[in-house]
């Protein structure tokens, strides 16, 4: 009987051991997700969203749980005014950020949203001399949008008859004015034009060869005056024009005799090296009142049959240099110096 109980005990022990071994063999261990009683691997999908951008999102990825993937870049994606800044777990950008190219461990299904950062734009401010007669405009400036710059002065720039008055958004001066040295906030590409303020009245004195057979008349001159009529001291040269020579001009059968206000030679003649007014003159006390205007002086041609060498050094009351007016066609004989004896041909 004892032998029977011993046999039954042995059989029971073997059965327990066999059951334990069978139970262990039925379990499966997963590297990605740990123990999986069913013996299958769990997969998760990562989806990429352009999050308001244009272009095509990267393809979604389905991988085993616990696997790591390299996050794609944003090539092919764009959004106006923004630049691609990686991926975020929230469309608003308030989730966790992941850089493109970084490693991401997959622990569940997830959508990663393109992260869009505000793009910092740069703009260029260009300076235009706007008709300056000399000098070079300041160098252009390229800065970030919203930055402020100090506007340069007009040092080195000049324009005859004008003073530099700052910068304007329009070449005609009808835009917005900005003073040199003031702060300017850059909001876009812009050209600022030198603003030229009139120093006064500007008049042009033109010289006409009056039928010369060869040569070129002298270039026009510009006269600048603060006002018109202008009252100046007679000893100054403000508003005056220094009469040029006739060098290079010639007319067959004639000699050059200066410049006249009338092409017929019946006006006032001004000799080379003397001053003339750009307009009508009247002596008042010790001053001269000028009614300024554009004027043309004509070469005075004296027929060689009637002409000789002549000069005028006469000085009238007050020290103002006055010229003699020669009326061609007179009957007197001309000597080295025109004299009062030819008063019917000469106007003092």
Domain residue extents for the chain: 43-118, 122-198, 201-347
Cβ count within 10 A of residue 348: 12
CATH homologous superfamily for the domain 43-118: Listeria-Bacteroides repeat domain (2.60.40.4270)
Cβ count within 10 A of residue 6: 10
pLDDT of residue 202: 67
Same CATH topology for 43-118 and 122-198? Answer: yes
Do residues 178 and 151 lie in contact, with contact meaning Cβ atoms separated by under 8 Å? Answer: yes
Q: Which helix (H) or strand (E) holds 25?
A: helix 2-25
Six-digit token string for 226: 């603060």
99: left (phi over 0), alpha (psi -120 to 50) or beta: beta
Distance, CA of 229 to CA of 279 (rounded, Å) = 10
* Torsion, Cα of 233, 238, 239, 242 (10° steps): 110
Class of the 122-198 domain? mainly beta
Task: Please give the backbone phi and psi of residue 276, each rounded to the nearest 5 degrees, phi first.
Answer: -130, 160
Six-digit token string for 251: 């007319």
Six-digit token string for 295: 């004027």
pLDDT of residue 320: 33
Distance, CA of 296 to CA of 220 (rounded, Å) = 9
Predicted confidence pLDDT, tens digits, the chain (348 residues):
455 455 445 554 444 444 443 333 443 333 334 445 556 889 999 999 999 999 999 999 999 999 999 999 998 899 988 889 999 999 999 999 999 999 999 999 999 999 998 887 889 999 999 999 999 999 999 998 889 999 999 988 998 878 899 999 999 888 999 999 999 999 999 999 999 987 766 677 889 999 999 999 998 887 666 555 444 444 455 556 677 888 889 999 888 888 888 898 877 777 776 655 544 444 333 334 444 567 788 998 888 765 444 433 333 333 333 333 333 433 333 332 333 222 223 332
């Amino acid at each position: 009987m004892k032998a029977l109980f011993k046999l039954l005990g042995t059989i029971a022990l073997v059965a327990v051991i066999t059951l334990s071994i069978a139970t262990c063999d039925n379990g499966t261990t997963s590297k990605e997700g740990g123990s999986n009683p069913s013996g299958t691997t769990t997969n998760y999908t990562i989806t990429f969203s352009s999050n308001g951008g244009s272009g095509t999102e990267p393809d979604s990825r389905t991988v085993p749980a616990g696997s790591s993937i390299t996050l794609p870049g944003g090539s092919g994606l764009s959004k106006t005014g923004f630049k691609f800044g990686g991926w975020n777990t929230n469309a608003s950008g308030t989730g966790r950020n992941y850089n493109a190219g970084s490693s991401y461990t997959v622990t569940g299904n997830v959508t990663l949203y393109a992260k869009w950062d505000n793009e910092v734009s740069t703009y260029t401010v260009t300076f235009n001399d706007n008709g300056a007669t000399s000098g070079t405009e300041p160098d252009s400036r390229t800065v970030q949008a919203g930055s402020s710059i100090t506007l340069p002065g007009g040092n080195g720039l000049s324009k005859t008859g004008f003073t530099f008055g700052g910068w304007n958004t329009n070449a005609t001066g009808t835009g917005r004015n900005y003073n040199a040295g003031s702060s300017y906030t850059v909001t876009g590409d812009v050209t600022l034009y030198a603003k030229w303020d009139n120093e006064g009245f500007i008049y042009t004195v033109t010289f006409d060869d009056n039928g010369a057979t060869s040569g070129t008349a002298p270039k026009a001159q510009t006269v600048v005056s603060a006002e018109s009529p202008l009252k100046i001291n007679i000893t100054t040269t403000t508003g005056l024009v220094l009469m040029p020579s006739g060098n290079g001009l010639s007319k067959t059968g004639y000699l050059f005799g200066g410049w006249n206000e009338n092409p017929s030679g019946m006006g006032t003649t001004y000799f080379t090296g003397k001053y003339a007014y750009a307009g009508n003159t009247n002596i008042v006390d010790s001053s001269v009142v000028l009614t300024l205007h554009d004027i043309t002086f004509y070469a005075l041609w004296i027929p060689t049959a009637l002409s000789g060498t002549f000069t005028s050094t006469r000085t009238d009351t007050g020290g103002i240099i006055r010229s003699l007016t020669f009326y061609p066609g007179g009957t007197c004989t001309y000597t080295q110096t025109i004299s009062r004896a030819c008063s019917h041909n000469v106007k003092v």
